[in-house]
Each structure stands twice: as structure tokens, then as C-alpha cells.
Amino acid sequence: MRGVPAWALKGGAVCLTVLATWASAGYIGGHVKDRSAPLRPSLHPETGQVTLGPAVRTTTSAPVTESNIS
């Protein structure tokens, strides 16, 4: 970029960094984690019964008792 002084480029970079930091802090502040939310929700329904739709097939495989998300 010819004709633009170095101090203007540096000042622009500083302003952009400050604005990005401010915007991300605002976003994070608006999406605070709910402390009462479970970290690993139960895979078993509370009602004790699962109703399968017509497109779901049953299986004789072992049930899934634990799940991990990377």
C-alpha cells in the first residue's frame, strides 16, 4: 500500500484488534453457560418407555450406555 503512512497502518491494526476483542467479549457475555445444565445428559428416558416411529427398526445389539463427544 503506497502512500499510506506506517503509523496509520499500525493504528488501524490496533483499532481492529480492540474492536474484535470488544465484539467477542460482548458475544461471550450474551451466551453465558448455564451452570445447572448437565455435562453428560442421561441416555435413558425418564418415562421408562421409548416409542419408536414406523421408520425405526429394532435390533438385538447391546444397548448404548455411554457416549463421548470429541
Collect all residues with Cβ–Cβ distance below 8 Å to 1 and sequence separation of at least 6. 9
Q: Identify the band that residue 8 occupies on the pLDDT scale cut at 50, 70 and 90.
A: very high
Q: Is residue 44 within 8 Å of residue 67, measured between CB atoms?
A: no
Classified as helix, coil or strand, 53 is: coil
Collect all residues with Cβ–Cβ distance below 8 Å to 52 and sequence separation of at least 6. 58
Q: Residues 15-67: pLDDT tens digits?
A: 999 999 999 999 988 888 777 776 766 666 666 676 778 888 878 888 777 77
Whole-model pTM above 0.85?
A: no
In this structure, which amino acid lies at residue 26? Answer: G
